[in-house]
Chain A
Amino acid sequence: MRRARAITLVPPLVALAALAALGGCGDRLQGFGGPPTPLVSFQVLVSGDLASVRKPAGDTSPTSLQVALVWGAQWLTEPFCVLPAENPDASAVIAAGCRDPFAFTPLRVAADVPIEIGVPATLSLFDLPAADVMVGDITARVAYGAMVVYDDRDGSGTLEVAMPHRTRSGFDEPGQFDGGDSPDIVYGASFVTMTAPDQRVVFREGAFYDTGFYPRSGCPHPRPGFSVVHAGGFSGDAALMNPGSLPPEDPASCTADGESDPIINVALQPPASVEEVSCVQRRDDSSVRYREPPPDMPELTSGGRVHACAHLPTFDAPTQGGLIQLVVSGRSSDRCKGLTHYTLRGCRENVSCPVPDWDFTATPPAWWPCDQ
């Protein structure tokens, strides 16, 4: 009887042993390991003659070309840069220190890969754009990005963004003055300005509403998820002449990729015409911080700086209490354009404050070049 019971146990034991012996066969467990699946991959192709656009001209040192996906920021230029110039000096300062008001403005570098001219490179994203680079709420938001080609001069493997350099002010502490730019040199971007043809990377979640975030008029809305869209650009003059409305794009220039990702083409350009795509801005809402003049004269002319005296700009009244500002542009060698504004009276956050933090209207600094 006991032997019979033992015999009946043999088949299931053999079956269990056979199953156990299957260990390692067939599929493989990966757990948290294994190569990560990219959320999206883009093909980028760089074209052009690098030697003809090298900075400095004639430089023959080895280059380390890379392409970076840079998510854009929502940015509004300051009124001084778009209102009619008050005098020739102000025109010169606007020309030297104001960015293109329709320019792509970077917020964050998302990914970088090495690239060769004429050879398509694959740039993969493993993370979605964070909420702070998307404009809208969770039911309808969008992020725009540009492919930026640059020479990774510092060998960091990533594009170092730059900032405009302001001149000294009366509030500066010793050592507070900012340093130089990273040596990275930008040679091209798929999206430089809304007034030129662009190919931009889009990530859309939820519905899509027309907003002021790199808007396009006359083009179809981007599809949900990642996509690459193209448009021919609109006229900047027409946009400035008709505030409140956006000139339409040529519908024939509007394309959106379908299921297959197209190649994003980036043409090499002189850095001076494209490097603003790597310039983050201290303020993105068109507000201006007016600064206290330092006791001794800041750099007003060295390094190609230009300056002008002008009334505080306003869209409503011709002047604002008669207060004059001194506006100084950046150096011509700076990667990023920018302005520094001085007033003889004001506060750190509000130039029209009733109780000023500084007031030199009665006794301006000896170097102050403006008539008050």
Chain B
Amino acid sequence: MCVAALVVTALTVGPDPAVAAPVPAVDPMFRVSGGGRLAVDGGLLLGLPAALGTGLSTGVGAGISSGDRFAWGARVSWSTATESSLLWTVTQADLRLRATAAIQQRAGRGQFALRLGLGPTIVHESRLRNQGQRAGLTGSDLETSAWVPLPAADLEGVVALHVAGPWLLLLSGGPALAIVDGGARWGWTAQLGAGWQP
């Protein structure tokens, strides 16, 4: 009974087409310009750590690309993850350097792309022995660090929306692969950010 009343109310209280407001003109502020070959973007990045095995790596990323339907470019991102076990607190910072190739298609204000990135992920690992400071450990007994470059690749889907002038809102993400200790390790990355395409 109540549901029926709600449906009837919704149907009768709907907007009257005769008095509907006209479609507003595009605000000059949101008028799109640019759309050239060059695009630069940056934003916040989330992903699985390349080698840690658990946790969520958070950081920032940026990239540049050039091209029309096919685009080339380069990307760099940095993110960290810190996790603990009974014995260790491990922090791994992943510096991803990628050469990218993308195939992209514009659709209205939007732009869709599939982007492949190849390059090293340089991992800086810092391990702190839990309870070590209380026990009086020092030096390498207390903390160790290592730099290790890993071969890696990303495949990302990219959605870009021209918001205003040359500015874009970008969302990207997809699977990531790193070779750790001779074995493949799968993960994912995602980025939300802003772009500039003059």
Task: Tell me the A residues contacting B by CB distance below 8 Å.
Answer: 5, 9, 12-13, 16-17, 19-32, 36-37, 39-40, 126-128, 203, 205, 224-226
Output the nearest chain A residue to B83 by Cβ-Cβ distance: A32
Q: Is the CB of B137 within 8 A of A23?
A: no
- With A19-B97, A23-B151 already in contact, the answer to whether A37 and B72 are too (CB < 8 A) is no
Residues of A within 8 A of B83 (CB): 32
Question: 7 extra interchain contacts, Cβ-Cβ under 8 A, other than A32-B85, A126-B87?
Answer: A13-B99, A16-B119, A19-B122, A23-B148, A23-B151, A25-B149, A29-B146
Residues of B within 8 A of A5 (CB): 66
Partner of A39, one of B52, B135, B147, B180: B135
Q: Is the CB of A37 within 8 A of B141?
A: yes
The winner among B99, B135, B144, B150 for most chain A CB atoms within 10 A is B135
Q: Is the CB of A37 within 8 A of B97?
A: no
Residues of A within 8 A of B115 (CB): none
- Distance between Cα atoms of A9 and B66 in the complex (Å): 11
Q: Is the CB of B151 within 8 A of A37?
A: no
Tell yes or no: B88 within 8 A of A by CB.
Answer: yes
Q: Is the CB of B181 within 8 A of A37?
A: no
Task: Tell me the B residues contacting A by CB distance below 8 Å.
Answer: 51-53, 66, 72, 74, 83, 85, 87-88, 90, 92, 97-99, 118-120, 122-123, 125, 127, 129, 131-132, 134-137, 141, 144, 146-152, 179-182
Partner of B120, one of A12, A23, A40: A23
- With A23-B120, A24-B181, A29-B146 already in contact, the answer to whether A225 and B135 are too (CB < 8 A) is yes
- Distance between Cα atoms of A22 and B118 in the complex (Å): 14
Partner of A32, one of B74, B88, B144, B181: B88
Residues of A within 8 A of B119 (CB): 16-17, 19-20
Partner of B146, one of A12, A27, A205, A224: A27
- Distance between Cα atoms of A30 and B146 in the complex (Å): 9
- Distance between Cα atoms of A86 and B9 in the complex (Å): 97
Residues of B within 8 A of A36 (CB): 87, 129
Residues of A within 8 A of B125 (CB): 27, 29-31
Main secondary structure of the interface of A (DSSP, over half): loop
The winner among A12, A23, A28 for most chain B CB atoms within 10 A is A23
Q: Is the CB of A9 within 8 A of B97?
A: no
Q: Is the CB of A31 within 8 A of B134?
A: no
Partner of B136, one of A21, A22, A37, A226: A226
- Distance between Cα atoms of A124 and B131 in the complex (Å): 14
Q: Is the CB of B135 within 8 A of A31?
A: no
Q: Is the CB of B120 within 8 A of A16?
A: yes
Q: List 16 A-B contacts (CB under 8 A).
A: A13-B99, A17-B118, A19-B119, A19-B120, A20-B120, A22-B149, A23-B149, A24-B182, A27-B148, A28-B181, A29-B148, A31-B51, A32-B90, A36-B129, A37-B141, A226-B135
Q: Is the CB of B98 within 8 A of A16?
A: yes
Output the nearest chain A residue to B127 by Cβ-Cβ distance: A30
Partner of A37, one of B51, B74, B120, B137: B137
**Would you give the shortest CB distance from B119 to chain A, in whole angstroms?**
4
- Distance between Cα atoms of A11 and B129 in the complex (Å): 41
Q: Is the CB of B52 within 8 A of A31?
A: yes
Partner of B148, one of A17, A28, A127: A28
Output the nearest chain B residue to A38 by Cβ-Cβ distance: B141
Q: Is the CB of B99 within 8 A of A26?
A: no
Residues of B within 8 A of A37 (CB): 87, 129, 132, 137, 141
- Distance between Cα atoms of A203 and B137 in the complex (Å): 13
Residues of A within 8 A of B66 (CB): 5
Q: Is the CB of B134 within 8 A of A128?
A: yes
